[in-house]
Amino acid sequence: MNPTWIGIAAAILTTAAYAPQAYQAWRTRSTRDVSLPMFLMMVTGITLWLIYGLMIGDLPLILANAVTLLLAGAILVAKLRFS
């Protein structure tokens, strides 16, 4: 099994995992059960992974974290806006 394909599959799954929560938060305008400290830490960590990917020029890492940052960032914005 090619390690690159494993990385791509992992990136797709971990990135896509944020989509249902982001959709629900914006659809219902409810983020009551979303942890603000967790999402602040997560968005910070994703940002650092994106910076790291940019620094080493790793395209899969860059793409996965850019999309994840958009989705997790949308949840964070919803939490700040709707709480």
CATH label of the domain that carries residue 42: 1.20.1280.290
Max CA pair span of the chain: 45
Structural tokens at position 22:
């982001």
Tell me how many domains the chain contains.
1
pTM beyond 0.75: yes
Q: Each residue of 26-49: pLDDT tens digit?
A: 999 999 989 999 999 999 999 999
- What is the per-residue pLDDT for 4? 84
Going by C-alpha positions, the residue among 79, 83, 78, 68 that lies closest to residue 12 is 68
Task: Give the DSSP letter of residue 33.
Answer: T
- Structural domain containing residue 66: 3-82
Q: Each residue of 5-17: pLDDT tens digit?
A: 898 899 999 999 9
Q: Are 25 and 33 in contact (CB under 8 A)?
A: no
